[in-house]
Structure 1
Amino acid sequence: MQIHRRPRYRQDGISPWPFVGLIGMAAVFFLVAASGPFTPWWAQTLLFLGWGAALVAAIRWWEPHPARVVWVPLACGVMWFVVILAGVSALGW
């Protein structure tokens, strides 16, 4: 009689991209939080709201579209850069 052993954990079909995307979201969070002393309160609030919306999108895409999750922190980082650059050049932060 042969004993069939099950693997301890299942690794087939698990994509690493959502994990990479959420690590990127954590990095973008630090960018947004670190820009607090240099931005007015309303711009900081908008940056945090944009980051929160991106986080919700990343979590919702975790299982149905795992490859899209990587692009969410990249888009969020570009959004942060554009807002800071526009604030510095146009509004004189």
Structure 2
Amino acid sequence: MIGLVCVLFLDFGSTIVLRWWAVSMLVVGWLVLFVLACVWWVPRPRRLPWLAVTGLVVWVAVVLGVTLATR
């Protein structure tokens, strides 16, 4: 869960370099990951770090994709 909070800070920190719609997509994606983490909290706790890794990979892909697309 700490990893997901770090990803949320990255998402909101991206407002400096990304457009509002890209940040909105990142936050909606984070909400999906957070709900999934809450569901998996007791039955599958070993999968939670992978959600943070997924959020980080998605963040990198969106930042690179939007930056290259708006050039």
> Within 5 A, what are the aligned runs for 1:6-85?
22-85=1-64
Percent identity among equivalent residues?
35
Q: Quote the offset at 1:37 in angstroms.
A: 1.9
More helix by share: 2
Equivalent pairs counted in the alignment come to: 71
Question: Aligned AA for 2:70?
Answer: L
Residues of 1 paired with 2:68 and 2:18: CA distance? 13
AA of the residue aligned to 1:32? D
Q: What TM-score do the two structures reach when normalised by structure 1?
A: 0.73
Unaligned runs of 5+ in 1: 1-21
TM-score calculated relative to the size of structure 2: 0.94
5+ long unaligned stretches in structure 2: none
- How much is the aligned-residue C-alpha RMSD, in angstroms? 0.8
Higher relative contact order (CA 8 A, sep 6+): 2
Runs of 4+ in 1 over 6 A off after TM superposition: none
State the Cα distance separating 1:38 from its structure 2 match. 1.3
Q: Deviations over 1:28-87 (max 9, x none)?
A: 111001001211111111010001110111111001111111100100110000000011
